[in-house]
Amino acid sequence: MSSTRLSLSDIEDLAYQAVLGAGAAEPAAAAMARATRAAERDGIRSHGLHYIPIYCEHVVCGKVDGRAEPVVERPRPGSVRVNARSGFAHPAIEAGFAELVPAARENGVAGLAVFNSYNCGILGYHTERLAAEGLVGLGFTNAPASIAPHGGKTPVIGTNPFSLAVPGDPEARVLIDQSASTVAKSEIMMRAREGEAIPEGWALDADGNATTDPEAALKGSMTPSGGAKGFGAGLMVEIFAAALSGATLGKDASPFSGTAGGPPKTGQFFFAVDPEPFSGGAFADRIADLVAAIDAQDGARVPGSRRFANRAPADRDGVDVADALLERIRAYVK
């Protein structure tokens, strides 16, 4: 498969021009382009340029309103609520963070609910932005149902990631970003597009049997990470990101893939915590001690370290992008 090496700046510009060409407003296109650049920089291909044709298709068909302007409310001093109005999650989250960060500094802790939203991409991308402000960021996002309850066959919750970002210098010191499923659904979607088999243990078919066929997996159920415990983690996310935020439950949301069903109107929820008033100034030292204990063990790694390690080479050398993918993206550029 032929490919072309692009700089991160070229990737951001290409993503921006494509989403803009599909009909999105400039702020939305810029937000999606920044997130795409970050995904490619971190080596997370499934959420990088691979998603741009899907975003563009969804703007064109109306599954996401590319011109929606999020509405921000501050119902209480430590509470922020954003109606994404069926638009992209990224600009809605950015608008909410503009209120969340000062609210957390003022109150010690604050929460942000986002509803009528869309796929927020890499959840850790958002929580890490809170860590860059010196805050501990905890995030939840729900998704269209793709995981059946332990012992069942019918999906009722999505892959439902949660993420924790701990501030460090200059980047997050710890970045936990994991879904309730064994693997992100986007990984299976990417392999379906590329005609590749998936490893056994990732998913079940519609009859509840293990499968390595990505198409059969997409018609069945993702396997929860850790069995019943993984489903429990996903249910916790559903409660925060959908029930608490007022978003659509995953079992009722239209899929993030394809053009059917209209806007999914899913949601996100974030906590931002200022560590100073809670730890008495000891937080940074304790985190450093904890990280050192992990790093001291051969073969062990701190969550997030793989992403952090990918950044300098990508900054320096750029990344390779399949020419077939570039052709699909450039079809939207006007």
- Known catalytic residues are 46-47, 187
Give the chain's length.
334
The set of residues, in sequence order, having a beta carbon less than 8 Å from that of 238 and lying 6+ positions away, is 142, 157, 158, 160, 249, 250
Which residue, 243, 277, 241, is CA-closest to 138? 241
**β-bridge pairing 203-204 and 210-211:** antiparallel
The Cα 205–Cα 190 span in angstroms is: 17
Is residue 250 within 8 Å of residue 156, measured between CB atoms?
yes
126-130 long-range Cβ contacts below 8 angstroms, 24+ apart: 126/93, 126/97, 126/163, 126/268, 126/270, 127/163, 127/164, 127/165, 127/172, 127/175, 127/177, 127/270, 128/165, 128/171, 128/172, 128/175, 129/97, 130/97, 130/100, 130/101, 130/165, 130/270, 130/272
3 state SS of 42: coil
Residue 50 gets which letter from DSSP?
A: G
- Type of residue at 24: A
Is residue 253 within 8 Å of residue 266, measured between CB atoms?
yes
Tokens for 287?
């985190």
Is residue 75 within 8 Å of residue 107, measured between CB atoms?
no
